[in-house]
Each structure stands twice: as C-alpha cells, then as structure tokens.
Amino acid sequence: MKLTSPLLLLAICVVMAVAGWSATMLSGRYSLATPVLPLTGLLTMGVIVALTLVLGIRVLRWRNGKKKKILNPILAAWTLVLAQACAYTGAVLLGWHAGVVVEQLRLWNLRSNQDLTWQALAMAGGGLIMVIVGLVVERFCRIPPEDGDAESRPGVQGKRSKPSSEGEYAYRSD
C-alpha cells in the first residue's frame, strides 16, 4: 500500500476551500445559514483522533519490539486504513472550513455575530489535527526493512526467495 501523498492532501484541501468559499458566498447572497459544522463535531473528531492514535501506538510498540504478544494483521491493516481515512477526512474539513473563514473575514467588522467565524476556525483546526495524526499513524504502520534483506538496499539486486509457510504474519517470533 502506498503512503498518502501530502501533495494530494493539499490539493484536496484547496479544492474544498474553493467549494466552501463558494457555498458560503452563495448562502450569504440568498440569506441562508452559513455551512459550518456545529462544535459538537469536534467531539466526534476527537474520538476518531484518539482511536487512531491508540491503535497506531499499539502497532508502533509491536513494530519496535516492545510487545511480545502477537499482533493481529487485520488490526494492523485496519489501523492503516483508519489513519489514511483520518488524513483525507481532515483535509476535506480543513479545506471546507478554511474557505468559510476566508469568506467570513471579508465582512468581519460589519458582522454582529462573529461566532460562526470562530466556529469555522475551530473546525479547521480540528481538520488540521486529523491530517497530522493520520499521517503520523500511517508512518507508524510501516514495517522497516530487515537488516539482511538485499532487496531493501538501493542498488543491490537480490535473489527473490519463495515465501515460506512460516513467518508471513505480522508478528514477531522471538
């Protein structure tokens, strides 16, 4: 599985910022509510971030050899997928709410109710935290190359061996 590209996350963020800015501009023009998630969304984002971190630290501890217990390979794969989903979701939320903030700041002094701008800033901050945690936990899930593995060293072409029936699972046998 490939690592999540920060450039792709940035592109998603920019596209969603334009979409958020456009939606806020149109909602203001037609006297509709500003499209901002409620602050209770921060609670949900916090739960997702905490769960991702806990599972990621569990995989990291196994990877560093601090746990002798067998690591379920499905749990490790789920952790990786959760980390990537966290990063992508954070990029969407960060971009959308950044676009909302940009449109709100245009008329900052004229608005009597500036709570929506602070609310959008809080949601954008939560999205940024989701992106950071997702990328960090994704790095936790990478298995480092073995010391004697000739394929892992650049410029050395090693002979591929057939996988054995033992040692194919994501746990240490020491």
For residue range 154-169, list pLDDT tens digits in order: 544 544 444 444 444 3
User: Positive or negative CA dihedral for 77, 83, 85, 87?
Assistant: negative
Which helix or strand (DSSP H or E) is residue 62 part of?
A: helix 40-63
- d(CA 11, CA 75) in angstroms, rounded, equals 30
Say which residue, 94 or 171, is predicted with more confidence: 94
pLDDT for res 147: 54
pLDDT for res 122: 96
Query: What pTM was computed for the model?
Result: 0.79
pLDDT for res 159: 46
111 CB-near residues (< 8 Å, 6+ apart): 104, 117
pLDDT for res 148: 52
- d(CA 8, CA 12) in angstroms, rounded, equals 6
pLDDT band at residue 24, thresholds of 50, 70 and 90? very high
Instruction: Indicate the length of the chain as a whole number.
Output: 174
Which helix or strand (DSSP H or E) is residue 100 part of?
A: helix 73-106
The 10s digit of each residue's pLDDT in 67-89 is 777 888 899 999 999 999 999 99
pLDDT band at residue 136, thresholds of 50, 70 and 90? very high
Mean pLDDT of 32-50: 94
